[in-house]
Amino acid sequence: MIAVKKEGILIQKTELNFENEGVLNPAIIRDGDYVHLFYRAVSLGNFSSIGYCKLKGPLSVEIRDIAPVIVSEFSYESHGLEDPRIVKIENIYYLSYTAYDGVNALGTMATSTDLVNWDKKGIIVPQITYDEFDAITSNNKINEKYFRYNNHEGVTKKQGEKVLMWDKNIILFPRKIDNKYVFLHRIKPDVQIVVAVKSLDELNPQFWKNYFIKFDECIVMKPKYEHEASYIGGGCPPIETKLGWLIIYHGVQDTIKGFVYSACAALLDLKNPMKEIARLPYPLFKPELIWELKGEVNNVCFPTGTALFNDTLYIYYGAADERIGTASVSISKLLEELMLNTLKNEK
């Protein structure tokens, strides 16, 4: 098994009103010697905004803002901006996050050229009900768990709002492939659906209708091992390596202690990221320490960003939905371990 070092708690909640319930699930981007964190900050009542801090190197906090840097402005995000991820493509920063209005949680995008001023692009995922999804995908071979996780127990309206199918974990690849944007998104229980478009403006209702007609062809990864038996979902933005796109994702297992969220690892093909090359048959790391086991949500290690310094990959994650932790691993050894667990080797 690959050796992973738990570096400890990076930052915790404070008494400031915007983050007095928790800090978690940060978007991470490295710029030279510095690492920028755009993290989910939670206030009383479970209202989320995006906080910011700057690290010198992978672990030393140099600056931490005392107010959120991105806040709710529109009705679709009235209850919060959750779980951001960030990449830089052709001098533009793309920050994806989950917009929550108290009823629906949907993938959203914002862009920036300076990491200070953000232009919100709005919801980019389909805004459809489960019944509409079920009707469009009727000719697909869909896992019965899609009904379990997405029909919302048959509730079609809540607080006067139509209940939509939740589509979260929007994660862009850090460069275009064949001159197209490629991103992962997740409708439970599978990871992730890869979409390739020349412009994000293409993501209109007709696009998604056509997409769902061939939905089963767009699923990249499905739960496979015990530690991810319930469902899997996106984690950190893909990391380009010579062997493939390194994917750090989350796997969820339903246990007698409730759901346990672990960090997991896989490789996708560089030219065709729809193709899975390898996957670790065990968690990369899982909740073990008291601050990962106990918090707002117990038993959670939820990876959302990485920074590579020489051969050491630092993985930043939400711990028990209350604090941010960091783990480190040799990326070369991780890739070696993955290549011992290729799909070819399983046969």
Backbone angles phi, psi at 187, to 5 degrees: -110, 120
pLDDT of residue 45: 93
Helix (DSSP H) and strand (DSSP E) numbers for the chain: 6, 23
Three-state DSSP at 183 gives strand
Please tell me the distance from the alpha carbon of residue 60 to that of residue 183, in angstroms, as a whole number.
31
pLDDT of residue 228: 96
pLDDT of residue 182: 95
pLDDT of residue 347: 47
pLDDT of residue 346: 58
Backbone angles phi, psi at 165, to 5 degrees: -75, 130
pLDDT of residue 192: 63
pLDDT of residue 341: 94
pLDDT of residue 185: 93
For the chain of 347 residues, list the mean pLDDT of each consecutive stretch of 10.
96 98 98 97 96 98 98 96 97 97 96 97 95 90 87 86 93 95 92 81 92 91 95 96 97 95 97 95 98 97 98 98 98 97 72
How many Cβ atoms sit within 10 Å of the Cβ of residue 191? 30
